[in-house]
Chains A and B, each alone.
Chain A
Amino acid sequence: MAVFIDLLLNALVIGILLGGFYAALAIGLSITFGLLDVVNIAHPTMLVLGAFIAFLLNSTLGIDPILAGVLSTPFFFILGWLIYQVYYNVFEKSGAESLRGLAFFFGLLFIIEVGLVIQFGVDHRLVEAPYIGESWNIIIGQEIDVAIPFRLLVAFVVAAIATLAIRAYLTRTFFGRAVRAVAQDMMALRLMGVDPIRVKRIAFALGVATAGVGGALMIIVLPIEPSLGRLYLGNVFAIVVLGGLGSISGTLLAAVIIGVAESIVATFFGPSWGPAVSFGILLAVLAFRPEGLFGKTAGAH
């Protein structure tokens, strides 16, 4: 029994921490796809770009990967700004965003990936930091030992702070409310004298900017190589949809649910069932709540 409790506690703790990490990967997409309806399938590859920047700063200057992620955030903000500018002028303005816009982001995905291969090669890369490879053990009684890997704890804390900060920004500030408004009714916003394109541009840039810290967390948690983004494409979209399009707290909760489910399944039933259970949860939730866990129903708009 003690062994069971030990495993369960560890699975829960790891699952919650893993959920935080998944949230960090999905939060940018929650803004660009969930709120702005821009299917940025290049987002996971932008995270890999962020991870490589963290690797570069860590291996050459010895900068802590999280700090490197924070430092690269303005770069990603500008990148997002420019990408949206091109996307709007070429596709959205002419109403051709649905399919051609998708092809645009596909193209972007490959360009970033090839650029990374040319610059860094194809080897797996890792970073060095004092919290990688160490864990914090909480011993309860004689048989229960909950090990919390620092790299996952750091990822969770940073992801939680970033998520809550973005949530607060979107709900408490005027600009944040404008972003939410643009998602609901662009015309009404225009009637109120606000340029919805400007709002969307900044919001998109904000979504892309999360790739700086998100990428740093990625390389802290796992080894990276240029094509890794494609592996997580399905997962991050699933989390955004599960959480409810446009809901930041929904994304965090959905990520934690997926993390805990994967961790418990891996511990008690075998890790190969993980993806089946994650997508099973997604299907089950969508069957009862098509708008996702925290999504607004069409009637509420």
Chain B
Amino acid sequence: MTRILANRVRVWLLVGLFAASVVLSGSISTTAQAQDKDPIKIGFSMALTGALAGGGQQSLLAMQIWAEDINKKGGLLGRQVELVFYDDQTNPKNVPGIYSKLIDIDKVDLIVSGYGTNLIAPAMPIAIEREMVFMGLFGMDNNSKWKYEKYFQILPAGPDPAVGFSQYWFEAVAGLKPKTIAVIAADAEFAQNLKKGAVTNAEKMGLEIVYEQNYNPKTADFTPILRAANAKKPDVIYIASYPNGSAGLVRALAEVGTDAKAVGGGMVGLQFSGLMAGLGPMLNGISNYDFFVPEPTMDLYPGAGDLIKRYQAKVKEDNLKVDALGYYLVPWSYAYVDILGQAVNAVGSLDQDAIADYIRDTKFSTVVGDVKFGKNGEWDRSRTIVVQYQGIENNDLEQFAKPGTRKIMLPADISTGELQTFGALRK
């Protein structure tokens, strides 16, 4: 009897051990599989609220479209891609904390920047300290002081971005034979970098700078600034502004007017759907930088048009409260994560040095055409375009989705119109 019991216990013990081994081996293999299938996390901060959110929100949606696309194709290194992001509220103070959390707590595998120079700058020291590849989204000369070899930036302003950004604007207005210039800029890193470049270009052209002032982002009314500039009788006015200032200056131009032959240059925000529709005919005559507009010659970016159509359809279908047109940032936000993805797949690992080396040495084919990085991780050439707002009759947003309202002045190979004087296009 005792023997029978002992045997039964032995059998149950064996069964138990077997069962435990099956469960354990199963769990081990499940863990191994899960580790294999763990997504590759790409971390970033993004201006989802605050002054630059108009750009930040459309960038995020474009990046999500890219993540969907790449995941459909099997992801990166056979793993799915997951975007991990936090709202920086367009406040540079929030950025260092976000990137520390992304790297130390969320354990992201790759990092990219949020939108805009002022929000890239505070993340640079962290990327450098952790020796991670850092893809920048529309940073103006962020790397000129750091010279970090793993930083690459998608704003197509050329190897000397501060100068390259306004180069075509100065070439375009040269036809109006100006002798004097007024320069108005926001008190912010991006605008100040732009101003430096504009002053260099103005000096190269032999223009005399008759008025040069910065404005505070809290400025509620811009008529005194414009009046003070007008008093110096400049032939052209270069403006480097952020959305609030851009809108304020456009209104001031409508109310006070100016005799300057060309106005604009570096006005951020006039490319956003909300401001374009809101300002409407007040934009006529302003010449400004841009990157992608619905003009027929922009077909040189294969895939960008289709991407924008997909973006617009998504915004409509899901009734998203983001920029309805998305011309300004969508192709570029898609391209900067796409380049990182292409590099990871080509290198076959997440080794940051190898990825950086690959990005540095490769010409990428993307939705914004061929991209090759040069000095300081900037584009090896400038592809910033100059447009002039023309023929805007009302505040209807749809007109900005068709050719004709933002005609391309330069570069010459994709030009769709001639620069006219500011006054000629005002009623």
Contacts and interface: CB of A to CB of B under 8 A. Distances in A.
On whether the two chains bind one another, the answer is yes
Interface in A217-265: 221-223, 225-227, 231-232, 235, 262-264
Contact of A221 (B51, B214, B221, B274): B221
Contacts, number: 153
Interface in B218-272: 218-221, 223-225, 227-228, 231, 243-244, 247-248, 251-252, 254-257, 269, 272
A119 B89 CA distance: 17
Nearest to A113: B49
Interface residues of A, number: 52
Interface in A258-282: 262-264, 266-268, 270-272, 274-275
Residue of B51, B217, B228, B231 with most chain A CB atoms under a 10 A cut-off: B228
B62 interface: no
Residue of A6, A7, A223 with most chain B CB atoms under a 10 A cut-off: A223
Given A124-B244, A124-B272, A223-B278, A7 B227 contact: yes
Nearest to A3: B231
Contacts of A235: 218
A147 B227 CA distance: 10
A152 interface: yes
A222 B247 contact: yes
B321 to A, nearest CB: 3
Contacts of A274: 216, 218-219
The dominant DSSP class at the A interface is helix
A132 interface: yes
Contacts of A231: 217-218
Contacts of B155: none
Contact of A222 (B213, B244, B269): B244
A287 B199 CA distance: 42
Given A122-B48, A133-B251, A21 B220 contact: yes
B57 A121 contact: yes
B278 A271 contact: no
Interface string B30-56: 000000000000000000111101101
B275 interface: yes
B18 interface: no
B12 interface: no
Contact of A125 (B53, B56, B255, B278): B278
28 contacts: A10-B224, A10-B227, A117-B321, A122-B50, A122-B53, A122-B321, A123-B54, A123-B272, A123-B273, A123-B274, A123-B322, A124-B275, A133-B254, A134-B254, A134-B255, A147-B223, A147-B227, A147-B257, A221-B220, A222-B247, A223-B247, A225-B51, A225-B53, A227-B50, A262-B219, A267-B227, A270-B214, A271-B225
Interface of B: 48-51, 53-54, 56-57, 89-90, 187, 213-221, 223-225, 227-228, 231, 243-244, 247-248, 251-252, 254-257, 269, 272-275, 278-279, 282, 320-323, 395
Given A133-B254, A223-B275, 5 more contacts: A121-B322, A122-B56, A123-B321, A124-B54, A151-B251
